Structure 1
């Protein structure tokens, strides 16, 4: 998932329906479908529906890495520890045919995803042992392993050199914290409170991380046989820090250099608009010299060097001052400097490039409408869809599911569909993708799962075609009248699809028809569609969303007097936007919203994005626009009973946003409740008990007004 889009979570084992190799995925917004066929009655549910406590039973397969020979897959199997209220994970290995699955690490250990050595005999990963992070190399054939490095900080972005003799990684190099004056020291035996923080940089905290430690992330190299790690970089740049992400460098095939994505701008430039403006540089392993390859106005990232060393594949865009830049797939000729845009005929965001072994094709993923695709691009811009159905665990968001390639073109990828979640599929030349894990099948097989249906409609604002989905309560009977929940996604440049979503399933299990759509500003429908909200979010999304509500009501099984609405982040903002313009909803749940763009910009971890994305101005030179788009301007019009909910450690949409909105609602006599989650960040998913309670409380609020 890009940092921008973070503004921004079966009864029968189903095989993944892959698109045949050579087929072309659609590249245009979906047309409006003809009138929907009336919903059919379902047999009464013989099993209980999903409930909030089922969250603790969910598992997911993360970061599947297929071996170079395409025969085995190593992945991180993650779940929840109910007793400790924490996420747990361990490394597993499974055959690409789904056989011989076994764990590689002990339950409860803290481990990172693994990476295969080039010869496929070993994996490397990070593990916390005896309270300290260590790099561990494990031989797969005999389960022998060795700790090759003890490190002061946790390593990440771990990669093997092409000859398998060295391992590169990134880790924080701490600096002494800034001091102002000489604070007194505690006398012996005294128990003083924590010392004050001294902050001297613009970007000093990040959601999900907290206050950033003093120092910079640097690149290191260590022998695969162990020994002291050698520092490769020693400068002011922060390698792999947000918003860059983990796949920020790659080896050249000769092992003599790294191609690195790095943001070289100063703190002042960074905060004034160069937040995403990274470039590609070559880092010489022997000397540490850094040479610029490409650094234009806009991001160049996710570098991948072709096996023959001739090309660098990368993603990015030239900044044209739009809300959403639109990530393209390009290749750069290392010898001539020629740049080819491989996805110029595909008006979709493309990410995660990887080369075929013969250096003739680049694989990458993209979302078209509500579906994710893995595609193969040739060097002349031709495109063939390899597989569909990629998806993150337990959420309808398109996000950025992971995949990996073997030398023979075999692949492993995260998958999700309407009735299964958290699994891995594998495929390859001549064979379609097939699900190889069965995580959550036992749980979902014992529950009544809500049926998902796609629908199309037209927005009343501009006649735009829209795509949405309906979840029917188990045992649905179209002759009845059901309450309906409209659920709105965040981002806002993100998108939903036909994937299993535990929150929505629990809502449907409680007896609600759940409707979710992709209004303007959503990704997956092209640059024009997503950038309709440039400098005007929120705006006409009201019409997009309410037209979807009316389209579902027209089917005849919704009680129009029992409509409910909820959403988080950008979806929370839109929930407030709707209730300020209509009293059709019986109750609303506004989750971690933006309600005042000025305070949001100056207190959140994405100030540069507010000033150079949502707006192309600042509060001090465009006060009227910031007020026009803020939820506080029309808070006096709200009549809908409203639940407000946020995490107290949310630095994306800080809790002060929710505090302001709740205070405004109470002042104007609106029935309202404010729920604050301690220690929680954006999205309320840091602790499974909080995630489960979040869904239960939303449903509970709606039940109070049913």
Structure 2
């Protein structure tokens, strides 16, 4: 999540039943989906693969209290021989060693994550590591070289502040490369001049900030100018080896993911020409240095993640509307490789991290759809076959309503898309209470997957519509860039047009309309109630209500919304700030916010709440102690949904 996070009449309205899904034929006895069901649901994600094709996957689930739990399992590529692994306390596996006999990952030691290797024998993990690398400020991520002889890891090279328990110095964070032999010996910092590496070194389903060369002698590295001390966003590409760094290119924008292509002659990455800084096209640059070139200028979708494998293939996760697929980038061309019917493939594939591994072409993926949680699938030819079924037993006892991909045109003829979720037992022709649910980001999309927010609200008897407003990924560069300096009018018009659409379809009772959103969706909610009184109830979570201070107090650069200097043109930022229009609010508003939120600092909600309360508006604010941008403790998550349900019951009636 980047905020990492419609008053229009309708004409030419169309409805595409692109995906219609239900669970089972018989009516389950459990009843509609609830927040407690959400807390108990299990989901799986592919994490790593050994050289012999054994897949490591995580199974996540909540509870009534505490954080999300993760169990670690292994399974064969044929879906057989699933085994649960008992992990040592504080160990988070990242992948297999080359011989497949050990797992490497992060191990918590004295409040820092360090690098460790634990042996695995007959499905059991050793209680003590065989290798440990401890750095002063801990280790971020790690990746083995294709020959398996070294590990590269990201870490902060600075010595710890001896007073860090009593103060935090505001300065740019540093991330550099540390390389060590696979047995933990001869560790050294490579390329000390590279201090601002932008992200993790990941393999197997994740975009990477560094990529090993095929000969295991160097890494291509992405860096980004730090947020503190910079108003612009810029990126650097370098090649780093034991002898030092070689500069390849400066990119005057954001960059995400890097891979060697064309036999090591070029480097591929994601970037953009847009003022909205989300990387969304595939670019290449000569590895020897030169001018970067956009290889997908006509892409009517969004490339969101890029990663390479040890065999030289480059995979790209692509949002195409509300669906996400995996494409292969080969010979300068991006081509669909794997998709999941009526659902999504999440991220890039997981496979063996080592060259010439016996697993060969075996690939594992994480897939989901609106009636199934995330699960592991494997490639069989051009198709995918699901081999885990987490959550299925729980969901078959729950009555789920239909989910449809819908399309409509706004008054101005703009084509828009969304996901409609109906309550169980929906009756055609009957009007239902309605909730529009704008997503966070905003440079993101709602995916055609199992969505707990939509399902929980639909379980209250609502029709829910998730609109893909301008600024969403999946619809091309122009659609994404349209949000720049126009979040408060263009995106608002699109979100409100979704409500018009639901009314025109006969789904929504025009007298029982509600809106709810978190992060960027929270902004949309807080802003909407200053523009219209049509909604009977509104709930905003961690929303931006005052743009000028937000841009300089968020924990990440936010100039992709508006790069003008806030003190030079304050009117440009108050224009779409809800706090300046509090007197116009007539809708009862519930504000929810984490007290430790650094993405959208908590004062954003507090300022709006205080203004509304002082003006005698109907408003309630609930904050969650210790919570970041979205609560991690399940008792807090369940309270979010309880507060929402009570607010809707009280005011949208």
Give the shorter-chain TM-score range.
0.7 to 0.9
The match for 2:376 is 424
Q: Given the superposition, is the C-alpha separation of residues 7 and 130 from structure 1 closer, same or farther in structure 2, using an over 3 Å criterion? A: closer
1:651 alignment partner, SS class = coil
Whole-angstrom CA distance in 2 between matches of 1:405 and 1:583: 52
Asked if the contact 2:343–2:448 (Cα under 8 Å) also holds between the matched residues in 1, the reply is: no
Asked if the contact 1:78–1:90 (Cα under 8 Å) also holds between the matched residues in 2, the reply is: yes
Whole-angstrom CA distance in 1 between matches of 2:15 and 2:338: 32
Q: CA RMSD in A?
A: 3.2
Equivalences for 1:438-517 in 2 at 5 Å?
438-460=389-411, 462-517=412-467
Whole-angstrom CA distance in 2 between matches of 1:283 and 1:446: 54
Asked if the contact 1:89–1:111 (Cα under 8 Å) also holds between the matched residues in 2, the reply is: no
Per-residue deviation, 1:173: 3.5
Aligned residues: 630
Q: Given the superposition, is the C-alpha separation of residues 125 and 676 from structure 1 closer, same or farther in structure 2, using an over 3 Å criterion? A: same
1:189-214 per-residue CA deviation (whole Å, 9 max, x = no partner) reads xxxxx97525342x5xxxxxxxxxxx
The match for 1:257 is 218
2:641 is matched with which residue: 695, 702, 706? Answer: 695
Q: Structure 1 residue 169 and structure 2 residue 153: aligned?
A: yes
Q: Given the superposition, is the C-alpha separation of residues 242 and 375 from structure 1 closer, same or farther in structure 2, using an over 3 Å criterion? A: closer
1:272 is matched with which residue: 231, 239, 255? Answer: 231
Whole-angstrom CA distance in 2 between matches of 1:32 and 1:117: 57
Q: Given the superposition, is the C-alpha separation of residues 338 and 657 from structure 1 closer, same or farther in structure 2, using an over 3 Å criterion? A: closer
Whole-angstrom CA distance in 2 between matches of 1:198 and 1:324: 29
Q: Structure 1 residue 225 and structure 2 residue 206: aligned?
A: no
Higher alpha-carbon deviation: 467-476 or 328-337: 328-337
Q: Given the superposition, is the C-alpha separation of residues 342 and 116 from structure 1 closer, same or farther in structure 2, using an over 3 Å criterion? A: farther
Per-residue deviation, 1:701: 0.6
1:649 alignment partner, SS class = coil
1:661 alignment partner, SS class = helix
The match for 2:83 is 102
1:418-462 per-residue CA deviation (whole Å, 9 max, x = no partner) reads 10112111114x2510111111112111211232112111122x3
Whole-angstrom CA distance in 2 between matches of 1:647 and 1:596: 17
Whole-angstrom CA distance in 2 between matches of 1:488 and 1:243: 32
1:86 is matched with which residue: 67, 80, 97? Answer: 67
2:369 alignment partner, SS class = coil
Whole-angstrom CA distance in 2 between matches of 1:619 and 1:34: 41
The match for 2:108 is 128
TM-score by length of 1: 0.82
Whole-angstrom CA distance in 1 between matches of 2:200 and 2:232: 15
1:74 alignment partner, SS class = strand
Per-residue deviation, 1:326: 4.1
Per-residue deviation, 1:575: 1.1
Whole-angstrom CA distance in 1 between matches of 2:125 and 2:501: 60
Asked if the contact 2:68–2:634 (Cα under 8 Å) also holds between the matched residues in 1, the reply is: yes
Equivalences for 1:308-319 in 2 at 5 Å?
308-318=263-273
Higher alpha-carbon deviation: 128-137 or 495-504: 128-137
Asked if the contact 1:89–1:110 (Cα under 8 Å) also holds between the matched residues in 2, the reply is: no
Per-residue deviation, 1:477: 2.1
1:621 alignment partner, SS class = coil
The match for 1:385 is 337
1:297 is matched with which residue: 234, 244, 252? Answer: 252
Asked if the contact 2:255–2:279 (Cα under 8 Å) also holds between the matched residues in 1, the reply is: no
Q: Structure 1 residue 523 and structure 2 residue 473: aligned?
A: yes
Q: Given the superposition, is the C-alpha separation of residues 578 and 79 from structure 1 closer, same or farther in structure 2, using an over 3 Å criterion? A: same
The match for 2:325 is 373
1:565-616 per-residue CA deviation (whole Å, 9 max, x = no partner) reads 111111111112221222111111121111111121232223x42xx32112
Asked if the contact 1:137–1:148 (Cα under 8 Å) also holds between the matched residues in 2, the reply is: yes
The match for 1:347 is 300
1:331 is matched with which residue: 284, 287, 294? Answer: 284
Asked if the contact 1:62–1:75 (Cα under 8 Å) also holds between the matched residues in 2, the reply is: yes
Q: Given the superposition, is the C-alpha separation of residues 459 and 242 from structure 1 closer, same or farther in structure 2, using an over 3 Å criterion? A: farther
Asked if the contact 2:56–2:72 (Cα under 8 Å) also holds between the matched residues in 1, the reply is: yes
Whole-angstrom CA distance in 2 between matches of 1:141 and 1:310: 43
Q: Structure 1 residue 642 and structure 2 residue 642: aligned?
A: no
The match for 1:73 is 55
Per-residue deviation, 1:703: 0.6
1:492-525 per-residue CA deviation (whole Å, 9 max, x = no partner) reads 1111132111121111111111111111111111
Q: Given the superposition, is the C-alpha separation of residues 561 and 663 from structure 1 closer, same or farther in structure 2, using an over 3 Å criterion? A: same
Whole-angstrom CA distance in 2 between matches of 1:32 and 1:227: 67
Higher alpha-carbon deviation: 329-338 or 157-166: 329-338
The match for 2:347 is 401
Asked if the contact 2:153–2:201 (Cα under 8 Å) also holds between the matched residues in 1, the reply is: no
Whole-angstrom CA distance in 1 between matches of 2:517 and 2:644: 10
Q: Given the superposition, is the C-alpha separation of residues 336 and 687 from structure 1 closer, same or farther in structure 2, using an over 3 Å criterion? A: closer
Equivalences for 1:470-619 in 2 at 5 Å?
470-606=420-556, 608-609=557-558, 612-619=559-566
Asked if the contact 1:67–1:120 (Cα under 8 Å) also holds between the matched residues in 2, the reply is: yes
1:155 alignment partner, SS class = coil
Per-residue deviation, 1:643: 0.5
Asked if the contact 2:207–2:256 (Cα under 8 Å) also holds between the matched residues in 1, the reply is: no
1:416 alignment partner, SS class = strand
Q: Structure 1 residue 678 and structure 2 residue 637: aligned?
A: no
2:119 is matched with which residue: 134, 138, 145? Answer: 138
Whole-angstrom CA distance in 2 between matches of 1:579 and 1:142: 55
5+ long unaligned stretches in structure 2: 6-10, 353-358
